[in-house]
Amino acid sequence: MNASFLPAKERRRLQQGFLAAADMDACQQVRSKADICRQLEEAKAVGLDHVELDGGIPNPFLDLSHKEFSSARSHALRLGITLSFHVPCTFVAASTASCQEADRKLAVGLIKEYIIAAEQLGCINI
């Protein structure tokens, strides 16, 4: 298995049996999704003018700082690239239509957090 893209610490954990292939994939997805500026650079390099950020699980978006959001938003504006955000489609998102009020409230609260993140990024669609 090629694990050369993993940081040294994660490669050791993989070799020691503490990380499975699925864990390795999830860690890399979070890192690559968090690097919004790189996604923008790649889009610009191939002539795209829009990037849809993947909110599928796992994702880093609720853990990013205001500074990270601001940096990505500014970079998108500099490059002339618009952003949109794909809200995660999980059992939590499905719970917005739950017959249990407590489930609905939690689900709506989480979706609102993603909407706030998208707003901070300057997304034109969610």
Q: Quote the pLDDT of residue 68.
A: 97
First to last CA, the chain: 36
- pLDDT for 88 equals 79
- Per the structure block, which two tokens stand in for 75? 């970079």
CA distances from 9 to 1, 12, 29 (A): 16, 5, 17
pLDDT tens digits, one per residue of 73-123: 999 999 999 999 998 777 777 888 889 999 999 999 999 999 999 999 999
Q: Which of 1-5, 16-20, 83-87, 107-111 has the lowest mean pLDDT?
A: 1-5
Flag whether the pTM goes above 0.85.
Answer: no
* Domain range annotation of the chain: 36-121
Contacts of 52 (CB under 8 A, 6+ apart): 83, 84, 85, 86
- With contact defined as beta carbons under 8 Å apart, do 29 and 12 qualify? no
pLDDT for the residue numbered 96: 87
Mean pLDDT of the chain: 91
Q: What is the DSSP letter of 2?
A: -
User: Vertex 114, ends 110 and 118: CA angle to 5°?
Assistant: 165
H/E stretch holding 92 reads: helix 91-94
> What is the per-residue pLDDT for 1?
65
- Measured CA distances, 74 to 36, 58, 69, 80, 119 (Å): 11, 25, 9, 10, 13
